[in-house]
Amino acid sequence: MTHNKDTVKSNSELLLATEGVSKSISSKTILQDINLKIHEGQILTLIGPNGAGKTTLIRIILGILRADKGSIYLRPSLRIGYMPQKLIINSTLPITVAGFLRLVRPRKDNEAANLLERLGINHLKGQQITSLSGGEMQRVLLARALLRDPHLLILDEPAQGVDIAGQSKLYDLINEIRAEKGCGILMISHDLHVVMSTTNEVVCLNHHVCCHGKPEDISNDPAFLELFGASSSNNLAIYAHHHNHEHDMTGQIKSSE
Amino acid sequence: MENFIQLITSDFFLAALVSGLCLAIIAGPLGSFIVWRRMSYFGDTLAHSALLGVAIGLLTDSDPQLSIILSCLVLGVLLAFLDRNPSLSTDTLLGILAHSSLAVGVVFISLANSLRVNLEAYLFGSMLTISSRDLVWVFLITAIVILALAKNWNNFLSATVHAEIAEVEGINVKQSNLILVVLVALTIAVAMKIVGVLLITSLLIIPPAAARRLAKTPEKMALIASLIGSLSIILGLFGAFFLDSPAGPTIVVIASIFFAVLYFYPSASNKN
């Protein structure tokens, strides 16, 4: 339970830990022996190619799926705010932004209005959810997650469908909220260039944990480079490129442990 | 005109009207959920299988309404569990279940024909033969459905909008889905007498579909659906009297006209 104190402030409380979590779906191994820890105020970002099991892991942590093996520790009475990858609402269901947000009981009533103002979605309250743009939708989803005043925020590709300018704004906002509330954040992201500048710890997942550590350490990890090299994904290529230019580490082989 | 006054004051007409209105009121919100969750085929299967309940009731010589309710409940719960198993093609499975149980029901009922059962009454409804005992069932189930809807509305809605967020926010989604299925099963069980097995789903889905364009919130859609359903029941019953047509199908025809008019009429609420 204490072996990775190098990445964590020693006085902050443990919010979430997975120990040896494994999951197979129709005899295909999706996750193998996953160990993660998130403390208060910490941002942990899961990266990895599509189909690597990132969303499955999140679903297990949320209790939507059950792991075949391993255990999940959640701090007692932990409130989780969850922002899913997408919200697909059947077009036969009329619901306004206000109606959607009313489905969750806010912890503090007067905070709801502040939050909407801050996320810049107050003017959208009367609009139908289905009429929102990608960026507006993501902010509404973030608002719903934050209305619970969570101890742990779990974000599945929060900037999906958001334009480049909006992306960094959104990540700034997430970072701001973390600093203010001191909540932990577990996030899946493909926006590696942004993520690397905000996250405390990166876990590179490809069914198993390829490598994990601080962003600057992990970028030189051979397992990490191998994974990116083997992948044809554009995101990863951009990322590798980005790193080639940074040259912030001299030794290429540097274990994260 | 004398006929007409006689009609609207007669017991059988009032029983038909009251039970029809009860059904329309609960079918509005329940049908809305069926539409939102794309469960209409599910409702169909349940309705078709209700005929099995009739057959079982005949074979065991028990109250047919009770055996219909019980078989709808059992099938509803079974289907809800099947629905959780993604490896089965639910669509195909529902199709097979719907029609095989309908066929088995029809065969059983004809075998028991010595009991002088009018099969057509179960297939298309026999609204004008609603007994006071039937009415008690209708009131009971209407009350149960309204109470359950009022108590669980937010949970149902939350689970419909996004099941996983709902789960994370502490709603027991599986349980709330099961309650919803039970309510649909109960509604179908009482609707059988009114519109018949073959037309039940239409009474559940046509009013909400007609209401969709007039509503900006889920609550309004459910409410307008109840209104449209009620109007269809009233107009359908009178229509059936004047046209001398069967009541159940006439009601469905009226509901369909509402849908067609509202769907194709370029309304003011079109702007969203």
Per residue in B193-227, pLDDT tens?
A: 888 888 888 999 999 999 999 999 999 999 999 99
The string of pLDDT tens digits covering residues A108-155 is 667 778 888 888 888 999 999 999 988 889 999 999 999 988 999 999
Candidates B157, B215, B216; nearest CB to A103: B157
User: For residues A113 and A185, what is the distance between their CA atoms, to the nearest angstrom?
Assistant: 23
Candidates A81, A100, A148; nearest CB to B161: A100
CA distance B32 to chain A (A): 8
User: For residues B65 and B248, what is the distance between their CA atoms, to the nearest angstrom?
Assistant: 18
Taking the CA atoms of residue B75, residue B81, residue B82 and residue B85 in that order, the dihedral angle to the nearest 10 degrees is 180
Q: Are residues A68 and A188 in the same domain?
A: yes
In a domain, A145, yes or no: yes
Q: Check CB contact under 8 Å for B212 and A64.
A: no
Task: Provide the pLDDT for residue A236.
Answer: 40
Q: Are residues A198 and A182 in the same domain?
A: yes
Q: Check CB contact under 8 Å for B168 and A100.
A: no
The larger pLDDT score, comparing residue A219 to residue B135, is at: B135
Candidates B158, B209, B216; nearest CB to A94: B216
CA distance B215 to chain A (A): 7
CA distance A210 to chain B (A): 28
Q: Are residues A126 and A140 in the same domain?
A: yes
Task: Provide the pLDDT for residue A5.
Answer: 38
Q: What is the ipTM of this complex?
A: 0.83
Domain containing residue B206: CATH number:
1.10.3470.10
DSSP state of B268: G
The string of pLDDT tens digits covering residues A142-178 is 999 999 889 999 999 988 888 877 888 888 888 888 8
Count of the separate structural domains present in chain B? 1
Q: Of A149, A167, A202, which residue sits at a domain end?
A: A149
Q: Are B165 and B63 in contact (CB under 8 A)?
A: no
Q: Which domain holds residue B264?
A: 2-271
Residues 6+ apart with CB under 8 A from A243: A219, A220
Residues 6+ apart with CB under 8 A from A255: A221
Please say if the pLDDT value at position A54 is more than 70: yes
In a domain, A53, yes or no: yes
Q: Are residues A34 and A102 in the same domain?
A: no
Q: Are residues A141 and A72 in the same domain?
A: no
Candidates B165, B212, B218; nearest CB to A82: B165
Residues 6+ apart with CB under 8 A from B91: B41
Q: Are residues A173 and A232 in the same domain?
A: yes
Partners of residue B177 in chain A, C-beta under 8 Å: none
Q: Are residues A39 and A144 in the same domain?
A: no
The string of pLDDT tens digits covering residues A179-225 is 888 899 999 987 777 777 777 888 888 888 888 877 777 776 777 76
Please say if the pLDDT value at position A2 is more than 80: no
Q: Which domain holds residue A117?
A: 88-149
Domain containing residue A59: CATH number:
3.40.50.300
Q: Are residues A68 and A42 in the same domain?
A: yes
User: For residues B196 and B187, what is the distance between their CA atoms, to the nearest angstrom?
Assistant: 12
Task: Provide the pLDDT for residue B243.
Answer: 93
